[in-house]
């Protein structure tokens, strides 16, 4: 019993560390994009997709794992098609996020990922038959009040934050129905979009509209390398996250996911000097209160599951 509990503790610690590291990497991502101000987002997205495939092939090689065979993929065509749908949904969320952090809107990115759990709760109720707890109901109401106050004060919807949070929640919902493991599905998502990304980059190059390639030809290879680097930059935390899921509880991951938007928030206010007025103070406070209630509600269940696992 002692050896199994030690093994479980070691596995949980490893999983928690991997999860925390993945969210830390995601949270610090705006620092990288500061080297790409006013980037061509379409080209950036195309480069990310193009170099995602060889990067994921390298990950499979390093982890000693094999991609499913063609016959295995054919046996689950539904999951293959859903990977294509997930890739399109993720493109919208990633496009919004990248535009925000390359155009001085890191606070919008932070808000988007703070409200993402609220969208996820709503989608769970609508499509998965989830029942809301009292804390989740309160979180949805408080989050709605926060967004409504922002709309009332500014006279417009926070489209960037809503598209990021909403489409990322849709991406998560779509992944619920994909039967492949995380690494395989991420690779298939990139493969689905590979022909379009390649064709677009060829068109940009042939029409002399490529920012990255033109910079490289004129001697500034660093811009091209920064564009290419977005593939490992965005996929590496996803790999750590996929490994973490196998070694820790979803409750713990749910609590740690706020590391990312919290870091975005701190970077935006303290480092990038983005304007944080009273409207954002009220809106963020309402959303944070709702998320805090959900987190406090989840803690007893988390402690109970940990004690139960240790007794095995």
3-state DSSP assignment of residue 36: coil
Residue 219 lies in a domain: yes
Residue 246 lies in a domain: yes
pLDDT tens, 167-211? 988 988 888 888 888 889 889 999 999 999 999 999 999 999 999
Residue 4 lies in a domain: no
**CA-to-CA distance for 96 and 251, rounded, in angstroms?**
28
pLDDT tens, 218-257? 888 999 999 999 999 999 988 888 777 766 666 667 667 8
Q: In the prediction, which pLDDT does 44 show?
A: 94
**CA-to-CA distance for 308 and 311, rounded, in angstroms?**
5
Q: In the prediction, which pLDDT does 310 show?
A: 46
- Find the mean pLDDT for residues 142-146: 92
**Domain carrying residue 239:** 11-311
First to last CA, the chain: 7
Residue 2 lies in a domain: no
Residue 168 lies in a domain: yes
Please count the structural domains in the chain.
1
Whether 112 contacts 171, CB under 8 Å? no
- Kindly state the helix (H) or strand (E) to which residue 217 belongs, with its residue range: helix 211-217
Q: In the prediction, which pLDDT does 2 show?
A: 53
Residue 282 lies in a domain: yes
pLDDT tens, 106-129? 999 999 988 888 888 888 888 888
Residue 286 lies in a domain: yes
């Amino acid at each position: 019993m002692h050896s199994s509990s030690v093994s479980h503790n070691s596995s949980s610690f490893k999983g928690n560390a991997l999860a925390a590291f993945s969210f830390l990497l995601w949270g610090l991502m705006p620092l990288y994009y500061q080297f790409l101000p006013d980037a061509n987002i379409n080209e950036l997205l195309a480069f990310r997709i193009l170099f995602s495939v060889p990067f994921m092939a390298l990950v499979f090689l390093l982890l000693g794992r094999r991609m499913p065979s063609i016959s295995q993929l054919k046996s689950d065509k539904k999951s293959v098609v859903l990977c294509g749908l997930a890739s399109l949904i993720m493109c919208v969320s990633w496009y919004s996020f990248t535009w925000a952090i390359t155009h001085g809107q890191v606070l919008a990115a932070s808000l988007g990922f703070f409200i993402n759990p609220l969208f996820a709760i709503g989608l769970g109720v609508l499509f998965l038959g989830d029942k809301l707890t009292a804390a989740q109901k309160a979180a949805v109401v408080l989050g709605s009040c926060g967004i409504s106050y922002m709309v009332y004060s500014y006279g417009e919807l926070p489209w960037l934050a809503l598209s990021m949070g909403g489409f990322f929640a849709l991406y998560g919902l779509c992944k619920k129905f994909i039967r492949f493991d995380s690494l395989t599905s991420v690779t298939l998502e990139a493969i689905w979009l590979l022909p379009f990304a390649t064709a677009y980059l060829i068109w940009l190059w042939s029409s002399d509209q490529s920012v990255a390639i033109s910079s490289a030809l004129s001697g500034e290879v660093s811009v091209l390398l920064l564009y290419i680097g977005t593939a490992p930059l965005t996929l590496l935390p996803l790999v750590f996250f996929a490994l973490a899921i196998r070694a820790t509880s979803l409750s713990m991951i749910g609590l740690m996911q706020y590391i990312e938007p919290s870091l975005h928030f701190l970077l935006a206010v303290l480092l990038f000097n983005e304007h944080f007025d009273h409207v954002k103070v009220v809106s963020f406070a309402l959303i944070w209160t709702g998320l805090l209630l959900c987190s406090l509600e989840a803690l007893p269940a988390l402690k109970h599951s940990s004690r139960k696992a240790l007794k095995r």
